[in-house]
């Protein structure tokens, strides 16, 4: 249940380079640059509901069960199938253009997205 709760972005590194690599328009990148993303996570056993609240009241909710293929969606509305797995204490999944891991470390939610050599690291505090 370590992931469960409501989290707010404290810091992010590599945001602009990562967004550009994914083809996100500059105006959208600018809106999100200093935005404090809110992540809401509920957990019932191995099943998670993961909601991210973005600027302009946009939100994306994905529901998944560890080890089972599910339908997911990106902030851009792209739908895809993925399987979230647990590697040690990290949740890991492969999106269409990058690999994403999430872990709790020092009471913080740490999300790392990697696309080749480009890395986005977001650290959030529990609120």
Q: Domain with 46 in it: what CATH number?
A: 2.40.128.20
* Number of structural domains the chain divides into: 1
Q: In Å, how far from its chain's centre is CA 36?
A: 13
Question: What pLDDT is recorded for position 87?
Answer: 94
Mean pLDDT of 20-49: 88
Mean pLDDT of 6-17: 94
Question: What pLDDT is recorded for position 97?
Answer: 79
Q: What percent of the chain has pLDDT over 70?
A: 96
E strands in the chain:
5-13, 38-44, 47-53, 59-65, 69-73, 79-83, 85-87, 90-94, 99-105, 108-115, 118-126
pTM score: 0.86
Contact by Cβ (8 Å): 66, 85: yes
3 state DSSP class of 61: strand
Q: Of 57 and 72, which is predicted with more confidence?
A: 72
Question: What pLDDT is recorded for position 95?
Answer: 80
Checking if the pLDDT of 31 tops 80, the result is no
Checking if the pLDDT of 24 tops 90, the result is no
Checking if the pLDDT of 75 tops 90, the result is no
Question: What pLDDT is recorded for position 1?
Answer: 66
Supply the range of the domain harboring residue 113. Answer: 5-126
Among residues 110, 116, 79, 114, the alpha carbon closest in space to that of 93 is found at 114
Question: What pLDDT is recorded for position 23?
Answer: 82
């Amino acid at each position: 249940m370590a992931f469960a709760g409501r989290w707010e972005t404290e810091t992010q590194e590599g945001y602009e380079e990562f967004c550009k690599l994914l083809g996100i328009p500059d105006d959208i990148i600018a809106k999100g640059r200093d935005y404090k993303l809110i992540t809401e996570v509920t957990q019932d056993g191995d099943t998670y509901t993961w909601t991210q609240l973005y600027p302009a009241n946009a939100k994306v909710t994905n529901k998944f069960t560890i080890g089972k293929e599910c339908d997911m969606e990106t902030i851009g509305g792209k739908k895809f199938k993925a399987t979230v797995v647990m590697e040690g204490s990290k949740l890991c999944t492969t999106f269409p253009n990058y690999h994403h891991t999430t872990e709790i470390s020092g009471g913080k939610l740490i999300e790392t997205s990697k696309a080749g050599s480009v890395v986005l690291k977001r650290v959030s505090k529990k609120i």
